[in-house]
């Protein structure tokens, strides 16, 4: 009985399918005879697409490289993300060396199928490339340009998960990969550029571990920086621009500039060196701000010496004489006003040797949130330098050097300079002791 029903069912299916197959074959024959090849291929392609869309369990999402003239962020993220997903056994991929970058950029090549898994779903990626030809004109030849897009295919039942979870995951992972591989850059003012900035790689090796900082100050600064970059939603919730201000003050040679480099290396933030003496007027100051990127540190070194910013009363008088000159009001608005909200994750660092010369308006919270006193070298700072320059953590001369540092004002730069004079720890430390002893003798003579 069961076999009979199976036979009847099979016969019924054949009776239904046979005319369809016969019709399709006949249709293909007629098309081949009567329709030109190009139109025939197009028609067959349309029919195939119709049946594949109607009966296939797969769905395909297209990610174009450009939306008109605007680059598609999703395409760039996919390119970065899939480059990290390439198998070590991949037989074909692309390698680029971007200008001013230190690392190679590995990406997938066209027509290469790459499979990814996410929350139980299997997702296939393919980079598709084609030539877009514009017809020749009277004075120009045919113009060819490459048009690229990604196709990601997956089962229909995963559609909502891919759109709501997987693609945001690709964006976030690409962001992390990009930050890890980022080359930190130093930007300086360039009036010939489109955004008033030019850049070079910042190859400064300073880190928090190599800085002669007091342990409490190091801990406080690192915690403050990490808390700042983790509070995007908090800043948005309280209605404040996502920025932070630091004032580094103290005598020359105490490591203010090196500390900026250590901050940049810790956060992977670009540094924008703003020399106020080179800024021609207030409107240029606004253009410089607009030209800055996110995730950046704006540095105004020796702010007390750059321009006359001692008080706002002189500002008002100066404006009556020459409105083109840079003013303290413009600097304050640059740091804390409406223009300061033209970007995210920005840090402003001002350095000075004479904190008392600065207008209190510049120093208040919201402008300079954290004031760090960069002082003379302490014993703990010396031990950091000794480990960094000589590779030692203890030595019999350490105690004598510590006693001298309690009596003599020596900057970390001076101490480091003496330690660099010899690779032999004994010789270098004795040289440092002689240097500190001479300083002490000079102080006694002055007294």
Quick one: 267 and 190 in the same domain? yes
The arithmetic mean of pLDDT across residues 248-276, rounded, is 94
The arithmetic mean of pLDDT across residues 156-167, rounded, is 95
Quick one: 353 and 432 in the same domain? no
Quick one: 416 and 329 in the same domain? no
Examine residue 41 and state whether it is found in any structural domain, yes or no: no
Quick one: 438 and 390 in the same domain? yes
The arithmetic mean of pLDDT across residues 257-264, rounded, is 96
| 331-379 tens-digit pLDDT | 777 777 666 667 788 999 999 999 998 888 888 888 899 999 999 999 9
The pLDDT value given to residue 386: 96
For residues 335 and 297, what is the distance between their CA atoms, to the nearest angstrom? Answer: 12
Mean pLDDT for all residues in the chain: 82
| 290-308 tens-digit pLDDT | 888 889 999 999 988 765 5
Examine residue 104 and state whether it is found in any structural domain, yes or no: yes
Quick one: 221 and 356 in the same domain? yes
Examine residue 334 and state whether it is found in any structural domain, yes or no: yes
The pLDDT value given to residue 273: 94
Tokens coding 277? 């003496």
Examine residue 46 and state whether it is found in any structural domain, yes or no: no
CATH number, domain of 343, equals 3.40.50.300
Give the model's confidence band at 319: pLDDT under 50 very low, under 70 low, under 90 confident, else very high.
very low
Quick one: 257 and 328 in the same domain? yes
Examine residue 355 and state whether it is found in any structural domain, yes or no: yes
Examine residue 318 and state whether it is found in any structural domain, yes or no: yes
Quick one: 243 and 364 in the same domain? yes
Crossing angle of the two packed helices 312-321 and 328-336, in degrees rounded to 10: 120
Quick one: 389 and 273 in the same domain? no
Examine residue 61 and state whether it is found in any structural domain, yes or no: yes
Q: Where are the alpha helices (DSSP H) in 110-196?
A: 159-161, 167-181
Q: Is the pLDDT of residue 28 over 50?
A: yes
Domain that holds residue 129: 56-182
Where is the domain boundary, 160, 182, 204? 182
The region of weakest confidence among 60-74, 138-152, 156-170 is 138-152
Tally of structural domains, the chain? 3
Quick one: 176 and 315 in the same domain? no
User: What are 243's strand-pairing partners?
Assistant: 346
Where is the domain boundary, 156, 182, 208? 182
Where is the domain boundary, 373, 402, 432? 373
Examine residue 388 and state whether it is found in any structural domain, yes or no: yes
User: What are 96's strand-pairing partners?
Assistant: 105
**pLDDT exceeding 90 applies to what percent of the chain?**
48
Q: Is the pLDDT of residue 136 over 80?
A: no
Q: Are strands 66-67 and 70-71 parallel, antiparallel or unpaired?
A: antiparallel
Quick one: 125 and 224 in the same domain? no
Quick one: 235 and 92 in the same domain? no
Quick one: 157 and 213 in the same domain? no
């Amino acid at each position: 009985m069961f076999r009979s029903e199976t036979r009847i069912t099979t016969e019924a299916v054949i009776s239904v399918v046979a005319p369809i197959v016969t019709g399709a074959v006949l249709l293909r024959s007629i098309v081949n005879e009567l329709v030109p090849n190009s139109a025939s291929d197009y028609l067959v392609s349309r029919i195939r697409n119709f049946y594949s869309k109607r009966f296939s369990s797969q769905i395909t999402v297209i990610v174009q490289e450009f939306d008109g003239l605007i680059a598609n962020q999703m395409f760039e993220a996919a390119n970065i993300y899939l480059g990290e997903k390439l198998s070590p056994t991949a037989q074909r991929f692309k390698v680029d060396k971007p200008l001013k970058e230190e690392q190679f950029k590995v990406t997938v090549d066209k027509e290469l199928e790459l499979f990814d898994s996410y929350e139980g779903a299997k997702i296939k990626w393919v980079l598709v490339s084609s030539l877009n030809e514009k017809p020749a004109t009277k004075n120009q030849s045919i113009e060819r340009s490459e048009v690229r897009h990604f196709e990601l295919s997956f089962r229909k039942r995963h559609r909502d998960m891919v759109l709501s979870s997987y693609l945001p995951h690709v964006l976030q992972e690409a962001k992390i990969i990009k930050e890890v591989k980022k080359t930190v850059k130093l930007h300086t003012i360039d009036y010939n550029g489109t955004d008033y900035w030019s850049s070079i790689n910042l190859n400064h090796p300073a880190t928090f571990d190599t800085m002669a900082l007091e342990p409490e100050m190091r801990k406080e600064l690192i915690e403050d920086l990490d808390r700042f970059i983790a509070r995007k939603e908090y800043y948005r919730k309280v209605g404040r621009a996502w920025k932070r201000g630091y004032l580094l003050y103290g005598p020359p040679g105490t490591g203010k500039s090196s500390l900026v480099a250590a901050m940049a290396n810790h956060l992977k933030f670009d540094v924008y060196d703003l020399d106020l003496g080179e800024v021609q007027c207030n409107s240029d100051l606004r253009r410089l701000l607009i030209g800055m990127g996110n995730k950046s540190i704006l540095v105004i070194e020796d702010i007390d010496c750059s321009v006359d910013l001692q008080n706002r009363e002189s500002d008002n008088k100066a404006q009556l004489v020459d409105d083109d000159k840079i003013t303290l009001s413009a600097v304050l608005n640059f740091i804390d006003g409406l223009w300061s909200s033209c970007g995210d994750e920005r840090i402003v660092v001002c350095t000075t040797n004479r904190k008392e010369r600065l207008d209190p308006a510049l120093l208040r919270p919201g402008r300079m949130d954290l004031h760090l006193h960069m002082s003379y070298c302490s014993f703990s700072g010396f031990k950091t330098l000794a480990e960094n320059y000589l590779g030692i953590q203890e030595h019999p001369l350490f105690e004598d050097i510590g006693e001298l540092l309690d009596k003599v004002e020596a900057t970390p730069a001076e101490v480091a300079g003496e330690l660099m004079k010899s690779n032999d720890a004994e010789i270098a430390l004795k040289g440092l002791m002689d240097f500190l002893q001479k300083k002490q003798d000079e102080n006694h003579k002055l007294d």
